[in-house]
């Protein structure tokens, strides 16, 4: 228990209200999808978490299935860091987890039944060593389970005190609106949505943002750097220690097309002209969307977290001219 948090941590970050709730989230949150399971060095995972907290990143995003070599190992890593370092700071932290993707064998370990959500959250709490999480999400829509059942499970989880707030992830606009109405009828607000959003994937602009703003639901958006593609990481080849070079099935080398790299190189020039890095421009662009509460970044080393958090400190809003130039680059035909 040697860790003492940086005394100036709250001067380094901005916090935004999550929709119309009482909850404020850091503009930059840290996700534990990659590089936090037992396959990754524990010291690096711990250093990333403590670096983030020292920079005012109070929100750590998890799901039941994060981590390798087995699902849940990222929750175990955070559980250990909480136990050994961050326990005194529990009330300064927003810990989130989710269930919705395949977690265990048989009919009760996937999608959105009450049976799955209740059992999964209990397992997550054990791995984390916590009595409650701050936000519990349903991870993806379930085409078979009635939405009423899934939302009732979320509402009951709040009533049981196992989560303070609930959210949905990857839900399209119309289903989000229905989920919010159902939950409202159960006396529990739909506080937050977690969709993918970045310069290369703007689907939320087509309806979902309107629903979120109208209903007062916040948004913590994932993969704001398109898993590293919207950084300078791949501008001069594929580094051996990068996600694209790893065995992760989510970012394959073929996704780094010449056309994409040409776009990123031009965006990088805009960023440099502003005294920012490519990653900082990509994050700032996402954060300028009024529906976005927080960007959930991933990282493989503490320096990336420092660079990304710096966005909040140094970003000057984009001018109309810069916005239109960026728009013209990112809307060129499909990558
Ligand atoms: P990002 O788009 O932020 O990509 C993170 C990766 O980008 C890092 O691992 C690193 O790659 C690279 N990177 C980050 N910062 C920099 C930098 N400054 N310079 C150069 N490269 C950089 O996010 P993720 O795709 O990792 O997703 C973030 C989080 O979102 C997840 O951890 C998870 O919590 C959540 N998520 C939620 C999903 C859902 O369905 N709800 C789905 C996916 C993610 P490298 O490893 O190569 O260094």
Q: From the CB of 192, is ligand 1 less than 6 Å away?
A: no
**H-helix or E-strand containing 31?**
strand 28-31
Report the pLDDT value the prediction gives residue 121, as an integer from 0 to 100.
98
pLDDT (average), residues 109-132: 98
Question: Which range among 7-16, 52-61, 77-86, 310-319 shows the weakest confidence by mean pLDDT?
Answer: 310-319
Q: From the CB of 51, is ligand 1 less than 6 Å away?
A: no
Alpha helices in 224-319 (DSSP H): 258-273, 278-287, 302-314
Q: From the CB of 67, is ligand 1 less than 6 Å away?
A: no
Question: Among candidates 191, 248, 242, which has minimal Cα distance to 215?
Answer: 191
Residue ID of nearest Cα to ligand 1 atom 26? 298
Question: Among candidates 218, 184, 187, which has minimal Cα distance to 204?
Answer: 218
Residue 135 and residue 329: Cα distance in Å, rounded?
Answer: 36
Report the pLDDT value the prediction gives residue 49, as an integer from 0 to 100.
98
Residue 25 and residue 197: Cα distance in Å, rounded?
Answer: 17
CATH class for the domain made up of 9-234+279-316: alpha beta
Q: From the CB of 150, is ligand 1 less than 6 Å away?
A: no
Name the residue of 135, 223, 236 whose CB sits within 8 Å of the most ligand 1 atoms, as the mutation to test its pocket: 223
Residue 55, pLDDT > 60, answer yes
Cβ proximity of 335 and 264 under 8 Å: no
Give the CA distances from residue 2 to residues 84, 166, 306, in Å, rounded to whole numbers and listed in that order. Answer: 9, 33, 22
Report the pLDDT value the prediction gives residue 334, as an integer from 0 to 100.
53
Residue 190 has, within 13 A of its CA and on its CB side, a CA count of 31
Residue 107 and residue 123: Cα distance in Å, rounded?
Answer: 17
As a whole number, the mean pLDDT across the chain is 97
Give the CA distances from residue 37 to residues 18, 43, 106, 300, in Å, rounded to whole numbers and listed in that order. Answer: 28, 12, 24, 12
Tokens of 297: 């970044």
Report the pLDDT value the prediction gives residue 335, as an integer from 0 to 100.
45
Q: From the CB of 168, is ligand 1 less than 6 Å away?
A: no
Report the pLDDT value the prediction gives residue 1, as an integer from 0 to 100.
57
């Amino acid at each position: 228990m040697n860790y003492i948090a940086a005394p100036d941590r709250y001067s380094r970050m901005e916090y935004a209200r999550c929709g119309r709730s009482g909850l404020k989230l850091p503009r930059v949150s840290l996700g534990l999808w990659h590089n936090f399971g037992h396959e990754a060095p524990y010291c690096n995972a711990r250093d990333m978490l403590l670096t983030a907290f020292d920079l005012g990143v109070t929100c750590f995003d998890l799901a039941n299935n994060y981590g390798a070599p087995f699902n849940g190992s990222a929750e175990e890593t955070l559980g250990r860091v909480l136990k050994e370092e961050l326990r005194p700071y529990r009330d300064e932290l927003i810990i989130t987890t989710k269930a919705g993707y395949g977690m265990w064998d048989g009919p009760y370990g996937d999608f959105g039944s009450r049976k799955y959500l209740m059992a999964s959250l209990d397992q997550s709490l054990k791995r984390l060593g916590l009595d409650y999480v701050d936000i519990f999400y349903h991870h993806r829509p379930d085409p078979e389970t009635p939405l009423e059942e899934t939302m009732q499970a979320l509402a009951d989880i709040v009533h049981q005190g196992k989560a303070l707030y609930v959210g949905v992830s990857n839900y399209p606009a119309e289903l989000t609106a229905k989920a919010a109405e159902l939950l409202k009828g159960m006396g529990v607000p739909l506080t937050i949505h977690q969709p993918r959003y970045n310069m290369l994937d703007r689907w939320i602009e087509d309806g979902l943002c309107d629903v979120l703003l109208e209903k007062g639901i916040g948004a913590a958006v994932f993969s704001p750097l398109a898993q590293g593609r919207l950084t300078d990481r791949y501008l001069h080849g594929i580094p051996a220690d990068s996600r694209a070079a790893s065995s992760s099935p989510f970012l394959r080398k073929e996704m780094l097309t010449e056309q994409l790299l040409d776009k990123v190189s031009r965006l990088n020039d805009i960023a440099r002209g502003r005294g920012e890095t490519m990653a900082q421009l990509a994050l700032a662009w996402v954060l300028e969307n009024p529906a976005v509460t927080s960007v959930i970044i991933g990282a493989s080393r503490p320096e990336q977290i420092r660079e990304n958090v710096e966005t909040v400190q140094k970003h000057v809003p984009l001018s109309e001219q810069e916005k239109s130039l960026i728009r013209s680059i990112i809307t060129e035909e499909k990558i």
